[in-house]
Amino acid sequence: MKNILITGGAGFIGSHVVRLFVNKYSNYNIINLDALTYAGNLENLKDVESKENYFFIKADICDHEKMDSLFKEYEIDGVIHLAAESHVDRSIKDPFSFAKTNVLGTLSLLQAAKNNWNNFENKLFYHVSTDEVYGSLSEQGFFTENTSYDPHSPYSASKASSDHFVRAFHDTYELPIIISNCSNNYGSYQFPEKLIPLFINNICNNKPLPVYGKGENIRDWLFVNDHARAIDVIFHEGKNGDTYNIGGFNEWKNIDLIKVLIKTVDRLLGRSEGESEKLITYIKDRAGHDFRYAIDSSKLKNELGWEPSLQFEEGIEKTVQWYLDNQDWVKKITSGDYQNYYQEMYSN
Ligand SMILES: NC(=O)c1ccc[n+]([C@@H]2O[C@H](COP(=O)([O-])OP(=O)(O)OC[C@H]3O[C@@H](n4cnc5c(N)ncnc54)[C@H](O)[C@@H]3O)[C@@H](O)[C@H]2O)c1
């Protein structure tokens, strides 16, 4: 039996990775470590919380003594590190907490791994990162694994810094590491402050849809389950010390994506086509707003055989339907009630 520590497992992507690993690998104990910040929600994992190979620990990755003792207590063999402050707009308001969690928190996990893994054989520290570390593209070209880092927001600067620390531990101490840099994710269980769930919710409730600038910025969107599948493949078959880009070759201008969301929600709610376009409200552009992200994920395809499983239209349809079917989940978040779930489940 191996003991795999997944950090940030109560968040959006982390909950999909935890679910995949708990269900697929009965030979792994999956230890989900999460501080349950505003972004962590244990209800995301209701369907796996009673499984024998699933464990939850509420802890802050910045608490380095605690990280060190957890590595000893649980005899951790591998780490998949997702815990982070993840919202660019919040990083513009409060960069300090991003430096703390994303940089110092990652460092405290790296130290715990280095100090407790006497022998690095069959050990791996897998760090989940973002394509935003590469900066911004013009109309042409793609980010590859060789693109220089050029972060612009406090969020991407903190993720870039954490990537550098992970690589430094490999180069200095020979810690076995892998880093992946993924494009924007969408799908179920995403906190409704992020573009896609926020807009689905606002369209449903006839609220304004705030679009930065002219909505011309371009993002490359990947279905979250495909990201989780990529993490699975890379964790098991990736090469020690390597970096892998993950993306779906699926670029959308924000304004075009919003129109697809409007069309899909209106159709599923039986409204007339385009009815909710009146909700679009252009607002002042985000400070330092990167123009375009686009990932070249051909290394992952050619070396490890991973490809996205879903076409975007199908992924968006599934996603919109999920938010419509799970209005209770959305309401508990928007009302703040979801934070009681942990207290109810784990108080004894
Ligand atoms: N969402 C995306 O589109 C995207 C794309 C590429 C990479 N990523 C990366 O993937 C990871 C997960 O992103 P997400 O969108 O699921 O984020 P999220 O905000 O939904 O979840 C983050 C989780 O980390 C936990 N957390 C935060 N601070 C912590 C701390 N100090 N100690 C322990 N736990 C803490 C939160 O409680 C939450 O459960 C992040 O590292 C992010 O940079 C995200």
Q: Atom 10, ligand 1: which residue's CA is nearest?
A: 82
Q: Is 271 within the bounds of a domain?
A: no
Q: Atom 6, ligand 1: which residue's CA is nearest?
A: 130
Which is the closest atom of ligand 1 to the Cα of 100?
31
153 and 289 Cβ atoms separated by less than 8 Å: no
pLDDT bucket at 52, cuts 50 / 70 / 90: very high
pLDDT score for 122: 95
For residue 1, give the 3-state DSSP assignment. coil
**Ligand 1 center to 84 CA (angstroms):** 4
* Distance from Cα 83 to the centre of ligand 1, integer Å: 5
Measure the CA angle with vertex 16, ends 293 and 229; round to 5°. Answer: 65
- 141 Rama sector, left if φ>0, alpha if ψ -120 to 50, beta otherwise: left
Give CA 25 to chain center in angstroms. 21
Nearest residue (CA) to ligand 1, atom 30: 60
pLDDT value at residue 337: 80
* pLDDT tens column, 198-208: 999 999 999 99
What is the pLDDT, as a whole number, of residue 343?
Answer: 59
- Ligand 1 pocket residue status of 8, Cβ below 6 Å: yes
Residue 214 falls inside a structural domain: no
pLDDT > 70: percent of the chain = 98
Nearest-5° Cα angle at 235, 69 to 239 = 110
How many CA atoms does the CB half-sphere of 88 hold within 13 Å?
16
Q: What is the CATH number of the domain that holds 19?
A: 3.40.50.720
Residue 263 located in a structural domain: no
DSSP state string for 49-74: TT-TTEEEEE--TT-HHHHHHHHHHH
Cα–Cα distance, 80 to 232 (Å, whole number): 10
* SS3 per-residue string spanning 258-309: HHHHHHHHHHHCCCCCCHHHHHEEEECCCCCCCCECCECCHHHHHHHCCCCC
User: Which DSSP letter does residue 337 get?
Assistant: T
Residue 342 confidence (pLDDT) above 80: no
Q: CA of 187: how far to CAs of 17, 89, 92, 125, 200, in Å?
A: 13, 20, 25, 26, 11
Q: Is residue 305 part of a domain?
A: yes
128 Cα to the center of ligand 1, angstroms: 9
What pLDDT score does 156 carry? Answer: 98
φ/ψ (deg, to 5) at 181: -120, 115
Ligand 1 atom having least distance to the Cα of 186: 3
* C-alpha to C-alpha distance for 237 and 302, rounded to whole angstroms: 13
- Average pLDDT on 146-166 reads 98
Residue 25 included in any domain: yes
Question: Is 122 contained in some domain?
Answer: yes
**Is residue 60 a contact partner of residue 83, using CB atoms and an 8 Å limit?**
no
What percentage of the chain carries pLDDT values higher than 90?
Answer: 92
Which atom of ligand 1 lies nearest, measured to the CA of 81? 41
Tell me: pLDDT of 348 over 50.
Answer: no
Q: What are residue 26's phi and psi, to 5 degrees?
A: -75, -10
Q: Whose CA is nearest to atom 11 of ligand 1?
A: 82
Calculate how far, in angstroms, residue 60's C-alpha sits from the geometric centre of ligand 1: 13
307: in domain: yes
Residue of the nearest CA to atom 26 in ligand 1? 83
9 within domain boundaries? yes
Contact 240, 176 (CB under 8 A): yes
Query: Mean pLDDT over residues 261-270, rounded?
Result: 96
Identify the residue with better confidence: 154 or 118. 154
Confidence of residue 345 (pLDDT cuts 50, 70, 90): low
Please state the domain count of the chain: 1
Mean pLDDT value across the chain: 95
CA atoms of 286 and 90, how far apart (whole Å)? 11
Query: d(Cα 280, Cα 135) in Å, to the nearest integer?
Result: 27
Q: What is the β-pairing status of strands 209-212 and 280-283?
A: parallel
Q: Is 226 a pocket residue for ligand 1 (Cβ < 6 Å)? A: no
- Mean pLDDT of the 210-230 span: 96
136/156 Cα distance (integer angstroms): 11
40 lines ligand 1 (CB under 6 A): yes
> How far is it between the farthest Cα atoms of the chain?
64
126 lines ligand 1 (CB under 6 A): no
**pLDDT at residue 173, as a whole number:** 98
Domain that holds residue 93: 2-186+221-250+288-312
